[in-house]
């Protein structure tokens, strides 16, 4: 059974009559790492939010683990990570990670055990009593990832999580994320506007075109697992990067999107 099954999905925003997504069909299988890439305004974040039941579709169906997206949300099937780490300033690192566990009604000792385990997983042991402002941007993002994974959701939805980080931190967190993905056997949908990041992380890259947002093409990334820093020097990696870039060029993303200009590959 697919983790995510989207059929004929359309999303229109009544304000300004904008068609954000049109005719989206997408199946995501268990254990996949799928990136959504495209220029600004292609609806990739909207698609992620529709999957996560934060936005209702205008037409079409979406099923998550065989249920409606709404039921999946009520069943706590989603872990979400946003571009901004969205930590709660008034909560310590440990209490931020514990937040979803509180919502699930876990008791204190069970919460503490899991929080300790998660902080070890993201290499932040000893930082539990710190407040978010005492951490660097990369560390804050690791807290957000620990929080999203703490309750072992069926599906991890990530909306440009490393977009605001510097290149070195981003590359390191890419490797850490792949490590977590493998160990926790999770399924990830990842929104990015970095071609290199999409290719490096994913098993599949979905290229989207803007106005209205559509799937322009899908690139299967057959790079060997586990991936490492060496993967970025693999000839096959560059071929995939070129393939994704050609697809983006085909939809005219290099003309009015900032996507390619920001690329460092």
Partner 1 sequence: MTVVAQPAPRGSVIASVRTKLTDWVPAIVVFLLAIVVWQLSIQAFHIQKFLLPKPGAIVSAFWTQRGTLWSAGWLTLKEALGGFAIGSGLGIFVAIVLARFRRLGDALMPIAIAANAIPIIAFSPIFNAWFDPLSPAPRMATAGVLCFFPVLVNTLRGLTSVRPAQVDLMRSYAASELDIFRRVRVPTALPFVFSALKVATVLAMIGAIVSDYFGTFGSLGITIKNSVSLFDFETAWAAILMASILGVLLYVAVSLAERFALRWDPTRQERGSA
77 versus 243: smaller Cβ distance to partner 1: 77
Among 89, 107, 185, 222, binds partner 1 (CB under 8 A): 89
CB of 131 to partner 1, least distance (A): 5
Among 30, 131, 211, 234, binds partner 1 (CB under 8 A): 131
CB of 234 to partner 1, least distance (A): 26
Q: Is residue 113 a contact point for partner 1 (CB under 8 A)?
A: no
x-or-dash pattern for partner 1, window 37-66, by CB under 8 A?
------------x--x-x------------
Among 7, 56, 103, 224, binds partner 1 (CB under 8 A): 103
177, exposed or middle or buried, with CB in 10 Å at 0-12, 13-18, 19+?
buried
CB of 210 to partner 1, least distance (A): 23
Among 13, 56, 86, 108, binds partner 1 (CB under 8 A): 86
Q: Is residue 80 a contact point for partner 1 (CB under 8 A)?
A: yes
- Which is it for the CA torsion 84, 200, 119, 69, positive or negative? positive
Q: Is residue 76 a contact point for partner 1 (CB under 8 A)?
A: yes
In whole angstroms, what is the distance from residue 223 CA to residue 219 CA?
12
59 versus 103: smaller Cβ distance to partner 1: 103
86 versus 218: smaller Cβ distance to partner 1: 86
In whole angstroms, what is the distance from residue 85 CA to residue 147 CA?
10
Among 14, 15, 17, 90, binds partner 1 (CB under 8 A): 90
Q: Is residue 182 a contact point for partner 1 (CB under 8 A)?
A: no
Q: Is residue 15 a contact point for partner 1 (CB under 8 A)?
A: no
Q: Is residue 188 a contact point for partner 1 (CB under 8 A)?
A: no
For residue 154 the two structure tokens come to: 């069926």
For residue 65 the two structure tokens come to: 């683990």
Q: Is residue 190 a contact point for partner 1 (CB under 8 A)?
A: no
Q: Is residue 84 a contact point for partner 1 (CB under 8 A)?
A: yes
Taking residue 216's Cβ as centre, other Cβ atoms within 10 Å add up to 18
Among 39, 46, 69, 82, binds partner 1 (CB under 8 A): 82
Site of interaction with partner 1 (CB under 8 A): 49, 52, 54, 73-76, 78-80, 82, 84, 86, 88-92, 99-100, 102-104, 130-131, 133-136, 138-139, 157, 169, 172
């Amino acid at each position: 059974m697919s983790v995510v099954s989207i059929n004929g999905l359309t999303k229109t925003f009544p304000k300004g009559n904008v068609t954000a997504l049109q005719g989206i069909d997408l199946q995501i299988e268990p254990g996949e790492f799928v990136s959504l890439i495209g220029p600004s305004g292609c609806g990739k974040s909207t698609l992620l939010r529709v999957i996560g039941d934060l936005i209702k579709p205008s037409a079409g169906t979406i099923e998550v683990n065989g249920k409606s997206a709404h039921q999946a949300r009520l069943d706590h099937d989603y872990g979400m990570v946003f571009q901004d780490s969205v930590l709660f300033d008034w909560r310590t690192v440990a209490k931020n990670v514990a937040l979803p566990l509180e919502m699930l009604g876990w008791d204190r000792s069970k919460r503490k055990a899991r929080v300790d385990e998660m902080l070890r997983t993201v290499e932040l042991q000893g930082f539990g009593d710190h407040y978010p402002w005492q951490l660097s941007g990369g560390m804050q993002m690791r807290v957000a990832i620990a929080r999203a994974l703490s309750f072992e959701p069926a599906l991890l939805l990530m909306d440009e999580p490393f977009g605001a980080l510097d290149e070195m931190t981003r590359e390191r967190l890419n490797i850490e994320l792949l490590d977590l993905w493998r160990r926790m056997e999770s399924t990830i949908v990842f929104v990015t506007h970095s071609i290199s990041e999409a290719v490096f992380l994913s098993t599949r890259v979905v290229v989207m075109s803007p106005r209205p947002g559509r799937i322009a093409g899908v690139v299967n990334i057959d790079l060997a697992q586990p991936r490492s820093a060496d993967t970025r020097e693999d000839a096959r990696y560059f071929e995939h990067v070129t393939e994704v870039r050609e697809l983006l060029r085909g939809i005219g993303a290099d003309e009015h999107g900032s996507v390619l200009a920001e690329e460092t590959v």
